[in-house]
Amino acid sequence: MATETIPETWRPALEPVLSTPEARKLGGWLKAEEAAGKQVYPPRGTRLAALALTPLPKVRCVILGQDPYHGLGQAHGLAFSVQAGVRVPPSLVNIYKELEADLGLPRAQNGDLTPWARQGVLLLNNTLTVEAGLAGSHAGRGWDAVTDACVAAVAEREEPVVFILWGSHAKKKASRVPALARASHHLIVASAHPSPLSAHNGFFGSRPFSKTNAFLEEHGRGTIDWRI
């Protein structure tokens, strides 16, 4: 954790969490893993990229992921996103298919969702690191408290926000945050996960992008240009 700079707008929400013994234990554990020669993704300095690209006051939509991609060159700190030039992962292929069906937008040729993040879409994974080749390997190590605090910070704001929850993991995370459960002025758009294993169980046809824009426009928060 010491190698990551907390973006200014997120500090009031995160500093109390990051000062706990549990957070220090997480930081020490990550250092030890890397010192032992294990490859951790995304690289140092990019693990809080979602927060750096999307300042708290600018958040208009939150998309919750589970943990970073575990393949070489994939993860760069944004949920569901990969850098340009990296093969688009299957879940993101399905996201693009739904985007095309929902808004008529042509499918993007790359998987870099940075343009969404810059428009106020917080692409937040529950766990912010992973060991190379081992999906879910850093789950339960302490990231939950950090990312729960991020979700709570957004939920506590007066400005209406859309929370897009794909799959049971995202729904469970949202249910853990009391501030979100109490906040009736936000919109929750929930469906199955875009993974090939579940996309046909309710993700396809869920129209999250048009629902998000309709809500934001209704509440005077503009719309998001979902083109990549």
Domain boundaries, the chain: 8-219
- How many angstroms separate the most distant Cα atoms in the chain? 52
DSSP H or E run through 82? none
The verdict on whether 67 is a catalytic residue reads: yes
Instruction: Determine the Cα angle at 96 with ends 59 and 63, to 5°.
Output: 25
Q: Model-level pTM?
A: 0.95
Q: Is 69 helix (H, G, I), strand (E, B) or coil?
A: coil
Say if residues 141 and 22 touch (Cβ distance below 8 Å).
no
> What CA–CA distance (Å, rounded) separates 14 from 111?
29
Phi, psi of 144 (to 5 degrees): -55, -45
Low-confidence ranges of the chain (pLDDT < 70): 1-3
Q: How confident is the model at residue 3, as a pLDDT?
A: 54
Task: Tell the residue number behind the tokens 């208009």, with chain if given.
Answer: 60
* CATH architecture under which domain 8-219 falls: 3-Layer(aba) Sandwich (3.40)
Task: Tell the residue number behind the tokens 């060991």, with chain if given.
Answer: 131
Q: How confident is the model at residue 1, as a pLDDT?
A: 53
